[in-house]
Amino acid sequence: MPRGDLFPDIAPFETGLLPLGDGHVMYWEQVGNPRGQPVLFLHGGPGAGAGAVHRRFFDPTHWRLIIFDQRGAGRSRPLGELRANTTPHLVQDIETLRNFLGIEKWLLFGGSWGSTLALAYAQAHPQCVTGCVLRGVFLGRDEEVDWFLYGLRRIFPDAWAAFAEHIPEAERHDLLTAYLNRLTDPEPAVHLLAARAWSHYEGSCSTLLPSPETVASFAQDRTALGLARIEAHYFAHKLFLREGGLLAGMQDIAQIPAEIIQGRYDMVCPAETAFELAAHWPRARLTVVPDAGHSALEPGIRTALVSAVERFRRR
């Protein structure tokens, strides 16, 4: 897939492992200009981890980009660990990283679950946030989780059938519990097969047009295990969000500027949610990409994201 609208590949100028307690160790990296404007990249999932391509949304001459893998995800250790892994833990981890790196304030950039975590962090620490660039908004509500588990069969009946058929028919009335039981089974032959099935399903539904590259990236064992196990764990606990959900806390960040990028045909996180969020956020600008689904790497989405980041650069 040509990605000429992204910035060139770049290596980090610093990487590290930061102990978090509870047995967790965070992988983090810094990219771009060491004296630049700080921006924090928040990956999706939860549990998907970050990759080298995510560095390319930011002009390295201007931005001091910080990327980290959330608890149990990517290069953080241990992979797929659910113990002491909740949204409040992740919010505190972000603060721990900010203080460790000596950053006063930063721009938040996150898509899908990354948008959820960005909102949760901003509401907890608004004084540390200069703005938000959010994509494929997910607010973690019951109806959004139910849509992922069951509603998507209306649009992707073939992908959903493969997802459901991994579970015996007698358990399909509660796919989340059935998958979580298998994803937490200590036997690799059980949890890896379940992780592949879950991640293949999500990857298959994430783009407007079929993308074997996207599906393959989701289905790699390391990505699949972190994504599926942690995602199911969070779904089973209502994303560990506060009572009333994220919309109830929007008054805490009403003065923070935001750019919301939404694919018109995003089936994983349908556009209705982005419109609801924008209606609750006076300083948010909503851009609907007319020919895109959920993935940040679809042409229209990545162009809109780069443009949104550049608008913050000019502020």
Mean pLDDT of 89-109: 98
Q: Cα dihedral sign for 305, 313, 48, 287?
A: negative
112 flagged as catalytic: yes
Angstrom distance (rounded) from CA 47 to CA 70: 7
Mean pLDDT of 217-245: 91
- Marked catalytic residue, from 112, 204, 206, 211: 112
Do both 265 and 227 map to the same domain?
no
In a domain, 1, yes or no: no
In this prediction, what percent of the chain has a pLDDT beyond 70? 98
Phi, psi dihedral angles at 167 (to 5 degrees): -105, 135
Mean pLDDT of 72-101: 97
Q: What pLDDT does 70 receive?
A: 98
Final residue of a structural domain among 212, 238, 264 = 238
Number of domains in the chain: 2
Does residue 134 contact residue 259 with C-beta atoms inside 8 Å? yes
Phi, psi dihedral angles at 142 (to 5 degrees): -55, -40
In a domain, 9, yes or no: no
- HSE-CB at 173 with a 13 A cutoff on CA atoms is 1
Angstrom distance (rounded) from CA 135 to CA 302: 10
Do both 216 and 147 map to the same domain?
yes
Q: What pLDDT does 215 receive?
A: 80
Residue 306: in which H helix or E strand, if any? helix 299-314
Looking at the predicted structure, is the pLDDT value of residue 4 above 70? no
Convert the pLDDT of each residue in 142-182 to its tens digit: 999 999 999 999 999 999 999 999 999 999 999 999 999 99
> By residue range, what is the domain housing residue 128?
14-141+240-314
Convert the pLDDT of each residue in 21-72 to its tens digit: 999 999 999 999 999 999 999 999 999 999 999 999 999 999 999 999 999 9
Do both 234 and 245 map to the same domain?
no
CA dihedral 205, 152, 109, 54 (to 10 degrees): -10
Do both 61 and 165 map to the same domain?
no
Do both 205 and 300 map to the same domain?
no
Convert the pLDDT of each residue in 249-268 to its tens digit: 999 999 999 999 999 999 99
Do both 257 and 282 map to the same domain?
yes
Looking at the predicted structure, is the pLDDT value of residue 3 above 70? no
266 flagged as catalytic: yes
**Tell me, what CATH number does 306's domain have?**
3.40.50.1820
- Marked catalytic residue, from 54, 93, 191, 266: 266
Do both 165 and 39 map to the same domain?
no
Do both 168 and 246 map to the same domain?
no
Q: What pLDDT does 28 receive?
A: 98
Q: What pLDDT does 210 receive?
A: 85
Q: Cα dihedral sign for 144, 148, 152, 153?
A: negative
- Marked catalytic residue, from 43, 166, 233, 294: 294
For the chain, give me the number of helices (H) and strands (E)?
10, 8
Final residue of a structural domain among 221, 238, 255 = 238
- The verdict on pTM exceeding 0.75 is yes
Do both 207 and 153 map to the same domain?
yes
Do both 29 and 105 map to the same domain?
yes
DSSP secondary structure letters along 176-206: HHHHHHHHT-S-HHHHHHHHHHHHHHHHHTS
Do both 88 and 47 map to the same domain?
yes
Task: Give the pLDDT band (50/70/90) at residue 5.
Answer: confident
Q: What pLDDT does 1 receive?
A: 37
Do both 110 and 226 map to the same domain?
no
Q: How many residues does this entry show for the chain?
A: 315
Angstrom distance (rounded) from CA 223 to CA 1: 20
Angstrom distance (rounded) from CA 49 to CA 83: 17
In a domain, 200, yes or no: yes
In this prediction, what percent of the chain has a pLDDT beyond 90? 92
> Taking the CB of residue 140, how many other CB atoms lie within 10 A of it?
23
Q: What pLDDT does 2 receive?
A: 42
**Average pLDDT of the residues of the chain:** 96
Final residue of a structural domain among 198, 215, 238 = 238
